[in-house]
Amino acid sequence: WGSCQMLTIKGINTAVGQEQQVGMKEKQVLEDSEMHLARRDTEALFQEQPESGNQYLEDTLLRSYLKTHLPPKVLEEVHQDLEMFGNRLLTKIQPLSWECELNPPVFRQFDAWGRRVDHIHTCSAWRRMKEISAEEGLIAEAYEKRYSNWSRLYQAVKLYLFSSSSGGFSCPLAMTDGAAKVIESLGIPGSLKNAFDRLTSRDPQKFWTSGQWMTERRGGSDVANGTETVARKQPDGTYRLYGFKWFTSAADSDTALTLARIADAEGQCTQGSRGLSLFFLRVRDEEGKLNNIQVQRLKDKLGTRQMATAELWLQGARAELISAEGRGVAAISNMLNITRIHNVIGAVASMRRMISLSRDYACKRVAFGKLLKDHPLHMQTIARMEVQVRGAFLLLMDVVRLLGLAETNLASEQEQLLLRLLIPVAKLYTGKQASAVAVEAMESFGGQGYMEDTGLPVILRDALVLSIWEGTTNILSLDVLRSLAKSQGQVMAVFLSTVQKKLELASGTEELSPAVQRAREAIGSLQQFMAATGSERALTMELAARDFSYSLARIYTGRALLMEHAARPGASPTDIGAALRWCHQELCPVAAEAARGSYGDGAALQDSALVLGSS
């Protein structure tokens, strides 16, 4: 080959036969260069991961609320349990949550030999969540009533802490709680005693979960016209159900409550809501075989992928009539109230989780030469989200406080009316808040917020359903109007009276005077709107329903709750600041929109022309 033979290595020429020492040095340089380039090509972005500790201990608003409201002995007991639960969430439950996300349910319709099995396989982490739910008494706590009227609030606190680490298991718990509530409201008849005991059990081996099968092909909210399922009475007094359930969440549950129309001797069914009755059924028999139910498919959802949601054919499913015939809607209303409250719990928990991570990240991430927490605009953005979640949290706590009073027969008539109003108001408002906060908080992480393996996108996806499930914003806004009409004005009188009383307490705190003034102006605007509208203009109120409901939520949350919390002895500057900031927003959007003519004559036609004319 000769001493002048040349080799080209990565653009560097060396002559074979030249001095070995020079060749060895050059070879080392080349190897180092190649190694460095390889690392640069494959090296991942490195940032400090945002983390949270014990959720209970880190949640100062939660702890201050409990200290303010719970009797000392109750507080002492629940504090110990919540601290232990917080540690369990951090060390045991959060890893299970991520496992549920990575291993969604799988549907197997046939076995290897062609037999139809309709098996929904869930991962071991999902099944473990069910056991943990029983062990922690996440349903049982509300029904044991160890702490009288405070038991429901205590249960809600545990569910709030559990929600963002539950891997989606909060949804079956909501329906399980709702089913237990329905059975309890019926007096726990003997035929349902075993079911009630299992739905509220602390024993993982006995604990059952329940589904809520209401949505059919024609839609979910309009059950009066959308329910096609037929119930045929059997000689033994049970019923066989025939129909198609379009959207059944937690399809792996043990039991379900469902609506159906009872067929008479000629096979005819009464239409409308008067024809609907409520039924209880076991999903599987003792051998694990489906109760004459076929699974058509699992839903391919944007979020809550950890949970099996299915389309089901009922082909003679054996069921028990548990309501009076034709009174199914009234009977299941207790379930809807509970599941809507659970929806609020999930919304508030989602917001708290995102803001906690955003706050921690701001203390670790360096950009433009300093930590994010040292950038005023960044902290202003997080502060605005913090105000939203604080208001939502206090609204949630007030709803479950009132529910606890109602369940122990300690609620006055006024408190029961207020609870009836606040449940749809809280659900619709916090559902929208959760989506907005999730989007804003995701942005606070920059590009990392968009990466699946950070676990942040799943929080956003799961939050988006909160304004849809258990009644969309518009449906619930109309429900608010129905509660006003049904009470013939009593609900609004109670609402205004409650707000005024709480405002009087806040007026004694000088720092809150600007917020008190804004709140008084908002109340005046609301009253003027209602007086001007009157009861005869139904279309105006329907057009205003959403803005009206938002106004109730903002006024009650700011005026009655945030200011009340800020006016208590020992309130922190943060409490006062949150109340002041809440009142910076438009507290009565319905009055503002009315002044712009949004609900005036021809407004509905203009809206239709704007939408349909653009197609």
Q: Where are the domains of the chain?
A: 55-200, 210-326, 489-600
pTM of the entire structure? 0.91
* Helices and strands (H and E) in the chain: how many: 23, 13
Which of the pair, 204 or 608, is modelled with greater confidence?
A: 204
Q: Rounded CA gap, 454 and 49, in Å?
A: 9
Contact 434, 163 (CB under 8 A): no
- Asked which of 41-55, 236-250, 313-327 is least confident by mean pLDDT, the reply is 41-55
Q: Are 272 and 224 in contact (CB under 8 A)?
A: yes
Closest Cα to residue 245, out of 270, 218, 274? 218
pLDDT of 26: 59
Read off the pLDDT of each residue in 78-103 and give the average, rounded to a whole number: 97
CA 254 to chain centre: 22
248 pLDDT tier (thresholds 50, 70, 90): very high
Q: In degrees to the nearest 10, what's the CA dihedral of 34, 37, 39, 45?
A: 180
CA 389 to chain centre: 13
% of the chain exceeding 70 in pLDDT: 92
Amino acid 389 reads V
Q: Is the pLDDT of residue 11 over 50?
A: no
SS3 of 231-299? EEECCCCCEEEEEEEEEECCCCCCEEEEEEEECCCCCCCCCCHHHEEEEEEECECCCCCECCEEEEEEC
- Of 446, 441, 426, 467, give the one whose Cα is nearest residue 353: 441
Tokens of 269: 């069914």
Task: Give per-residue pLDDT as tens, 540-567.
Answer: 889 999 999 999 999 999 978 999 999 9
The residue count of the chain comes to 615
**Which amino acid does the sequence have at 86?**
G
Q: Residue 587: what pLDDT?
A: 95
Report whether 486 contacts 478 (CB < 8 A): no
The residue-averaged pLDDT of 9-17 equals: 42
Q: 231 with 321: CB under 8 angstroms?
A: yes
Residue 190 CB burial class (10 angstroms; 0-12, 13-18, ≥19)? exposed
Burial class of residue 284, CB neighbours in 10 A (0-12, 13-18, 19+): middle
Q: Which fold has domain 210-326?
A: Butyryl-CoA Dehydrogenase, subunit A; domain 2 (2.40.110)
Q: Can you name the residues that pair with 216 across neighbouring β-strands?
A: 219
pLDDT in tens, 506-547: 888 899 999 999 999 999 999 999 988 875 577 788 999 999
**pLDDT interval class at 38 (50, 70, 90):** low
pLDDT at 33 over 60: no
Q: Is 50 exceeded by the pLDDT of residue 130?
A: yes
Residue, of 33 and 516, whose pLDDT is higher:
516
Which residue type, as a one-letter code, is found at position 488?
Q
Q: How many whole angstroms separate alpha carbon 594 and alpha carbon 525?
A: 10
* Angstrom distance (rounded) from CA 600 to CA 116: 59
Please tell me the distance from the alpha carbon of residue 561 to that of residue 215, in angstroms, as a whole number: 35
